[in-house]
Structure formats: structure tokens, C-alpha cells
Amino acid sequence: MSKKPLILVTNDDGITAPGIRTLIKVMKELGNVVVVAPDSPQSAMGHAITINSTLHLERVHIDSGDQPEYSCSGTPADCVKLAVNEILDRRPDLCVSGINHGSNSSINVIYSGTMSAALEAGIEGIPAIGFSLLDYNYNADFEASESFVKQIAKNVLKNGMPKDVVLNVNIPNLKKSMIKGIKICRQARANWEEEFDKRKTPQGKDYYWLTGKFVNLDHGEDTDEWALTNSYVSVVPVQFDLTAHHCIQQLNTWNFDD
Amino acid sequence: MSKKPLILVTNDDGITAPGIRTLIKVMKELGNVVVVAPDSPQSAMGHAITINSTLHLERVHIDSGDQPEYSCSGTPADCVKLAVNEILDRRPDLCVSGINHGSNSSINVIYSGTMSAALEAGIEGIPAIGFSLLDYNYNADFEASESFVKQIAKNVLKNGMPKDVVLNVNIPNLKKSMIKGIKICRQARANWEEEFDKRKTPQGKDYYWLTGKFVNLDHGEDTDEWALTNSYVSVVPVQFDLTAHHCIQQLNTWNFDD
């Protein structure tokens, strides 16, 4: 009988969030689970790492499970680095991050702490998946997510991942019977139209809250936004080679001498 | 006579860093400059944005120049969002970020606050460049950088940028006479081998400092690492569509039904 896979679980909503508790439950059906996750919410942290401050790890027991769990004072990317270098005694076979409370589809991948953990694992050569549910509520219902999370993780454990690629999985906020299936997609070209909420402090000084409206500029039927709007789970293969290879030839025509 | 270009200048080392002061000086030769930059260092912030906290802007005068300058309590990406939405009365013709004290070549682009500002501008449709000098010292010598920064910015103002692409420019830490020229490159496949420095608090509890060794796994002569090692300025076109398009066909062979 083959050895059970070793699965590292992390997230960006913090180690006690219902999303990661669901993810731990599902992963325990597939392998031996170790949890290293932030001790507090780290949403929108992008790919931040902690270089000018100390990092603290704490062994914790959140629920009755027997999986080792560590809460970490750092970012999601820090959690992965610490797990691989200081906690695990071998490289994990899979790193999963999430389930995020809220979408990380299209351009949100850039701002996402959930996906930064998956990307960090990918950079270290570990197959990795970020999962997100399109419901920002703390008490979101993760039940429908469970079977999709399991199917996708099983495929990664069985097939491996293409080199230098991780998966960005988003799940529509629907009952399971309403979800039509899983679609492999590309990232939609969308952005946020910011609207700053300008206020005054009690002392009369201006300050701002960042708010905004999500605008999808891309009506392709092969995008993650299309899949989610049409009741599919979206799976986008994501790479960390950001080179726009198609532009190199064009830039070589520029003249840098005058 | 044509209107002078409007140039937004930001960085991640903070508004008083010598690197941004050099960048401001060079950009003033090319257009009208407005500065919106963090009030404190934000290195390794990745693409973090501030959504759970308030943002503050302060009009400041750092040196004798007449350019409007604002220090911002947020991240580099916040600075760009606030500049475009709350400060500038029209869209800038160019956004430049840096000059960073230290490399943002190869995989460092993922962790880089400097590049997150450029990417944020790119997402908003503004031509954008991140500049970095391969010298981490506060008192780095930016003199050789000046002419390369100017040549590259002039090209972007003249030619425009390819759609949804920004430039990641790294400059070797050499005298100008030693730099051989500018090379358009792809991002090298490199990573950091972390080494955590484990210490004990005065109370006997473990804590960690993140340190590490940069390892270039990619010996291609078309990479930014090759260019920098061989005394060239590296220019990598960077995109924020992270889709690994080449993997979609392969992932479509996976079976999600069993």
C-alpha cells in the first residue's frame, strides 16, 4: 500500500475561519494533514512576506482533530515558507490554501493572500491549489464546496501539476444541486473601479476608506467570470513567470540611444 | 507645442528615500511630476492593498522642488489608487515606481512593492515602469541609473506600452562606463532558499527571522539575471494575466467525475 500523501493546509482568513476548517476536514479524507495558518485575517495582503519583523509560531488545538496545527504571526506566504523549512519533516505532496471567504477570480488573484500561499508553494516546487467561495460572510455555507474541493485535489494528487503552475479555484455561492460542474478557464480581464469614501476625523482631518466596484471588461465564454456567472466552478492554471513573452520582439524595436 | 506629459511618481522605500528623489529629478526633465508615495518603507509588501484600515494623505515638502508631493499611510498599490482617484485631475501619461534600493529581478517581481505600484497603474490602463538598482544600501549611488531611467521612460512616452503590460527595469550596481547597455529579457526561473534564523525571546520562546539565499536555476542568456550579471540593464515586460494558457488543454483531460 502506498504512503498517504502529506498535505499542507493554509489560508489568509486566519486559522479559526470556517473556510479552513472545511478544507482541513476534506483533506483529512485524502492524506495526512498539517495546518500552518495566520493567527489573524490577512486578506488583500498580496504576496507580502515578513522581512523587517520577527515571526512567531504557536502550536494550537482548534477542534478535536488529531492534525498538527500551528498559528503563525506572518502572512500566508510566510506560513508556507515556515512550514516547509521549520515544521514539516519532508516536502508536502500538496499545499492547499483557503477556502477563502470571498472571490479570488480574475484580477483578484493579484491581491489575494489565499493565492499568494499557493504561489509560494508553487515557487518551491510543491503542487498547490487556492480555493475560494463567492461568499464574503464569516458564516458562509461551505457544504457545496466540499465535493468540488475533493475532486480537484484528488486530480492534482493523481496527475501532478504542470511545471511552475498552480490552480486558482473559485466556487459559486450556490446549493450543490445548482452547480453545473467544473470548467478550466482563463483569467478574465477585469478590474476594480475604486471609489474612496472620504471622511473627516473628529479633529477635522481628511481620511479615506477604499471601496470599489468590480467591473468585468471581458465577455469571453472561456473566462473564470463567465464560468462563475453561469454556475460552474472555475479552475484557472496560474503561473508565476509574469513575462509578457509576446512583447519582447516589439520592445526590441525601441531605440535607447538618442 | 504639445502639452507636457503628466507623470505620477511612487515607490516602496518611502517618500524620503534617495531612490525616489533621483527618479523625481529625472522625470522633471520629461514632464509635470506629481509624487504620491508611502510615508514609511513598504518593501516586500507584494500587491497588498488596505481594505480593513483607514488611509491618510499628507501634503509634504521634502526638498526645494515645485512638484506637488503627498505622503500616504498605505501600500504602494494604495498610493496609485489614491493618486488616480483623489489627487490627479486627469489620468497620468506615465507612472514610474522606484528607484528601488535593491533588485526586483526574476522571482522578486512577485514580492515587490515597487512592481506592485507599476502593476496597479497598468491594471488601470496607465503606462507604467518599475525601476530598481541592485544595491540595498540607503546611500546607494543612483548616478549611473539616471540616463537609463530617462531613456526608457522617453521610449514609453513616445511609443506607448503594449496593452496590459508594464516594464520591470533592473540596473546593475556599476559605474555608468561599465554598463554595456539595455537588454529586453524574460524573467529568470529563480527562487529563494529560505533559511530561518531561529532565536529565543528573553522569556525563552522561539521566534524566527526570515533570511535566505537567492538561487538562479535558469542559465538562459535571454534572462534578466544573465543580463545583470553581464553588466546590462534588464527590461522585462510584465503582465498581470497570470493564466498559464499553455496548460488549459492538458487540464481539460482531467476527470472530475469519479
Is the peptide bond preceding residue A99 cis, with omega within 30 degrees of 0?
yes
Tens-digit pLDDT profile for residues A7-26: 999 999 999 999 999 999 99
Smallest CA–CA distance from B249 into chain A, residue: A184
* Exposure string for B14-35, b = 16+ CB within 10 A, e = fewer: bbebbbbbbbbbbbeebbbbbb
- The grid coordinates of residue B140 equal 546607494
- pLDDT < 50 positions in chain B: 1
A176 burial via Cβ count (<10 Å: 0-12, 13-18, 19+): exposed
Tens-digit pLDDT profile for residues B77-132: 999 999 999 999 999 999 999 999 999 999 999 989 999 999 999 999 999 999 99
What pLDDT shows up at residue B258? 63
What pLDDT shows up at residue A119? 96
What pLDDT shows up at residue A195? 84
B228 vs chain A: nearest CA distance in angstroms? 16
Question: Which letter does DSSP use for residue B217 in this model?
Answer: -
Q: Which are the contacts of A32, defined by CB distance < 8 A and separation ≥ 6?
A: A4, A5, A6, A7, A67
Each residue's pLDDT, cut to its tens digit, for chain A (258 residues) gives 468 999 999 999 999 999 999 999 999 999 999 999 999 887 766 677 777 788 999 999 998 889 999 999 999 999 999 999 999 999 999 999 999 999 999 999 998 999 999 999 999 999 999 999 999 999 999 999 999 999 999 999 999 999 999 999 999 999 999 999 999 999 999 988 888 899 998 888 889 988 888 899 899 999 999 999 999 999 999 999 999 999 999 999 999 886
Pick A82's closest partner by Cβ from B47, B208, B255: B208
Taking CA atoms, B231 is separated from A143, B118, B223, B228, in Å, by: 56, 24, 13, 5
- CA-CA distance, B207 to A168, in Å (whole number)? 32
- CA-CA distance, A222 to B243, in Å (whole number)? 12
B6-251 in CATH: which number?
A: 3.40.1210.10
Residue A44: alpha-carbon gap to chain centroid? 11
The CATH topology of domain A6-187+221-251 is Stationary-phase Survival Protein Sure Homolog; Chain: A, (3.40.1210)
| Residue B162 burial (CB count, 10 A) | 17
- CA-CA distance, A151 to A173, in Å (whole number)? 18
B64 vs chain A: nearest CA distance in angstroms? 26
ipTM of the complex: 0.92
Please list every residue in chain A whose beta carbon sits closer than 8 Å to the beta carbon of residue B149.
none
* Boundaries of every domain in chain A: 6-187+221-251
Tell me the CB-side half-sphere exposure of residue A90, using CA atoms within 13 A.
10
Smallest CA–CA distance from B238 into chain A, residue: A243
Please say whether the dihedral angle defined by the alpha carbons of residues A130, A133, A137 and A142, taken in this order, is positive or negative. Answer: negative
Pick A182's closest partner by Cβ from B47, B57, B256: B256
What pLDDT shows up at residue B40? 87
What pLDDT shows up at residue B1? 46
- CA-CA distance, B60 to B87, in Å (whole number)? 14
Q: Answer whether B242 sits within 8 Å of A208, measured CB to CB.
A: no
Please list every residue in chain A whose beta carbon sits closer than 8 Å to the beta carbon of residue B184.
248, 251-252
